[in-house]
Amino acid sequence: MKQIKEKHSVLMRWTHWVNFPLLTIMIWSGLLIYWANDVYSITLFGHTYVKFFPDWFYEALDIPAHLAKGMAYHFLFMWFFALNGLIYVIYTVVSGSWRELLPQRKSFKEAWQVLLHDLHIRKMLPPQNKYNAAQRIAYTAIIVMGFGSLSTGLAIYKPVQFATITWLCGGYHLARIIHFVLTIGYVFFFLIHITQVILAGWKNFWSVISGFEVIRSNKPMEIVPTANPKNDEKPKED
């Protein structure tokens, strides 16, 4: 017997898919801006391991000499990026779905077990509900990162009017570095996220568009109501 299992709310799906092009545009326009003063690198003991960014990278993406354009796009799409994030956070708080997302005390230990499992070192996954421990950490971290990008962005955008924010971010230089590092972080998040989505398979991917998954069971129930987040603490076997 097939069953419909509700998985992702409409709002979560909307904000997720809206965020994808927005973040892409923010990263691209950010690169146009960064190029004008591209001073960052990973240098240890006088040897530069990674230069941000090599010429071939700039050329491939047509980055050079578009500072004004980059700023114009960045300062338009920042509004949508912030708004989309705000809607998601408010929804998550109000709906109670934060309970499925915030890492719990056991999450950090479990995330390690999830990692070992994903690397085919450990056979068993720890019991989990909607999101496993590693997902909880990753999906909460990405929201914290988004908040970090907005604050450090504001800190370098209006360092005089919002001097307090700049100070909280550790000053103008550190704020710009954090803003940059967070962006690199998104790229890494994206790569891991895509890998995991591919590994999790089509059904899992499609549920982020449709909102539900079809499960087969012997129980004659028609529709499984959305998991009550309050019961989240007591995971049940599916």
CB 107 within 8 A of CB 127: no
| Closest CB 224 distance from another protein, rounded Å | 11
Q: Which is nearer to another protein, 21 or 127 (CB)?
A: 21
Binding mask 78-117 for another protein (x = CB under 8 A): -x--------------------------------------
Binding mask 139-178 for another protein (x = CB under 8 A): -------------------xxxxxx--------xx--x--
Contact range with another protein by CB under 8 A, out of 31-39, 42-50, 121-129, 229-237 = 31-39
Contact range with another protein by CB under 8 A, out of 93-101, 117-125, 203-211, 228-236 = 203-211
Q: Which is nearer to another protein, 68 or 198 (CB)?
A: 68
Q: Which is nearer to another protein, 23 or 133 (CB)?
A: 23
Among the listed residues 33, 101, 142, 182, the single contact to another protein using CB under 8 A: 33
Q: List binders of another protein among 65-84 (CB under 8 A).
A: 67-69, 71-73, 75-76, 79
Q: How far apart (Å, rounded) are the C-alpha atoms in residues 128 and 110?
A: 10
Contacts for 9 with CB less than 8 Å, ≥ 6 apart: 91, 95, 97, 211, 226
Using CB under 8 A as the binding rule, whether residue 21 contacts another protein is answered as yes
Q: Which is nearer to another protein, 5 or 117 (CB)?
A: 5
> Residues binding another protein: what is the number (CB under 8 A)?
36
Strand 223-224 and strand 41-44: the pairing is unpaired
Among the listed residues 43, 59, 209, 217, the single contact to another protein using CB under 8 A: 209
Footprint on this chain of another protein (rule: CB under 8 A): 1-4, 17, 21, 33-34, 36-37, 39, 67-69, 71-73, 75-76, 79, 158-163, 172-173, 176, 206, 209-212, 214, 222
